[in-house]
Chains A and B, each alone.
Chain A
Amino acid sequence: MSIFHPMWLSIQLAAFTTVILILVGTPIAWWLSQTKTRWKPAVQAVVAMPIVLPPTVLGFYLLILLGPDGAIGSWWVQLTGSALTFSFAGLVIASCVYSLPFAVQPIQNAFESLPSQYLERAWTLGASRLDAFFSIVVPLSVRGFISGIVLSFAHTLGEFGVVLMVGGNIPGETRVVSIAIYDHVESLNYAAAHRMSLLLIGFAFIVLMAMFMLNRRWGAR
């Protein structure tokens, strides 16, 4: 087994997850930043829960939900003919749940720190809501987006417990780098475990450093 194959799989998983989370997380973050409802703390708690819950809880319920008898899994079986568990698509869904707070929270924080006059001014000048959002809110929240992107990507890359429970360790499909490292450690193949771990350490360092550098540059403007 090449050491790059599981790594590449992890990167693909993290990339898919991040794209979906930004698309799904941005409206959630926006709604949370604007809403006056008394349900806001409840919704915030739901979004933040994956931070607190052990991967075993998420993995347990995902296994049931995504399995061929589960609510989501059975629907997927009708659609595609195969179950979501033990599949790359299933891992993407699991990772989206698992990393949701890491996308939503930084973006929400950025939205909340925007002075509300900016938006009101844009509206009085006749900008549509969507136009105002993309030409004012998004550019001014770039730091939040960068943090959200990097954190959800990195958090998915470091995912282990959930994948162990719903992945089934299939080479090229669900054997991501953390699982491959675990396998190597268990079968006493420490040389391979070291190689993959060092690769991951280097990668994590570069990604995080890039985020902090970008943040500094955007912050200085």
Chain B
Amino acid sequence: MRVRAFIVSLTLVCGPVLAADTISVAVASNFSRPAALLAAGFTVETGVSVRISNGSTGKLYAQIVNGAPFDVFLAADAERPMLLEKSGHAVAASRFTYTQGALVMWSRDAPDCLAVLAQEGGGRVALANPQTAPYGMAAVEFLQAEGSWESVSARAVYGENINQTLQFVATGNAAVGFIAKSQLGAPQLPEPGCVWEVPAASYTPIEQQAVLLERAAGNANARRFLEYLRSAEARDILSRQGYGVSQ
């Protein structure tokens, strides 16, 4: 009896949080700030509130596969949403590219990013973990194409996600780092010594894809959020934040 009373009261307490007019969105770390802006715009337009969970694409993917209660997944790559679609964790044909990411090199103190990168013993080079973060993989591809990966990897440090990578550079713990262009607009960011946009041709395009997750198949609000992502208003917010708008 007591257990049942507990469950009933738990349902009452949690009820409002899980109400239908809230959707739950898993967002890749590089996109956390624009996602918050988009969510705010969406809430103003529809009255539906959005709960955002941030993490690296790889971690969020693993959580979704293991039953995490998310309605929409905004990944930093196309691979993970595709896998989710294949394994039935995402709704078929709901997947689309919501933005295309750009990789930049950023340093707090150095006036010339490329010089720091080329300089042996020029301090740590921060990148996101290439195993789990697409921006980390893009950085490795660029360095390999440049032929400097072997020397740079000896002084590389790996952020758990792209936000931690930025933090390593912003705190002066790394001399230079590879981050998402969209992160440059982050408030509280120290004045950069240099910013260098990595040529897009030197890495596989970072197609960031969104997908509707299986548990939200019948959730109209979640579908509306995905539609909103394609709207002119959303694209406007994205391009102001340094994201390429594809399609």
Contacts and interface: CB of A to CB of B under 8 A. Distances in A.
Interface stretch (B69-77, B165-173, B195-203): B165-173
A164 B172 CA distance: 17
B132 A169 contact: no
B131 interface: yes
Interface in B34-89: 56, 58-59, 61-62, 65
A207 to B, nearest CB: 28
Contact of B173 (A83, A186, A187, A188): A83
Contacts of A67: 171-173
B214 interface: no
Q: What class of interface size applies to chain A in its complex with B?
A: 10 to 19
Contact of A86 (B131, B160, B173): B173
Given A86-B124, A86-B157, A168-B158, A183 B173 contact: no
B151 to A, nearest CB: 15
B140 to A, nearest CB: 14
A157 to B, nearest CB: 20
B129 interface: yes
B157 A168 contact: yes
A187 B124 contact: no
Contact of B58 (A85, A165, A170, A187): A187
Q: Interface size class for chain B?
A: 20 to 34
Nearest to A86: B157
Contact of B131 (A68, A69, A183): A183
A69 B190 CA distance: 14
Contact of A169 (B59, B61, B158): B158
A11 interface: no
Interface in B137-185: 156-160, 164, 168, 171-174
A83 B126 CA distance: 14
Task: Tell me if A's interface is mostly helix, strand, loop or mixed.
Answer: loop
A186 B172 contact: no
A213 interface: no
Interface in A165-190: 165, 168-170, 183, 185-188
A171 to B, nearest CB: 9
A110 interface: no
Contact of B62 (A63, A68, A164, A185): A185
A64 B173 CA distance: 9
Main secondary structure of the interface of B (DSSP, over half): mixed
Contacts, number: 53
Contacts of A86: 124, 157, 173-174
Nearest to B126: A168
B171 A186 contact: no
B158 A186 contact: no
B127 to A, nearest CB: 10
Given A183-B129, A183-B131, A186-B56, A63 B158 contact: no
A164 B173 contact: no
B58 A164 contact: no
B173 A169 contact: no
A68 B61 contact: no
Nearest to B158: A169
A170 B56 contact: no
Contacts of A85: 173
Nearest to A74: B172
16 contacts: A63-B173, A64-B171, A69-B171, A164-B160, A168-B124, A168-B158, A168-B168, A168-B174, A169-B129, A169-B158, A170-B158, A183-B132, A186-B131, A187-B58, A188-B61, A188-B62
Interface of B: 56, 58-59, 61-62, 65, 124, 126, 129, 131-132, 156-160, 164, 168, 171-174
Interface of A: 63-64, 67-69, 83, 85-86, 164-165, 168-170, 183, 185-188
Q: Which 8 A-B pairs have the closest CB atoms?
A: A168-B157, A169-B158, A186-B58, A187-B131, A186-B132, A67-B173, A85-B173, A86-B157
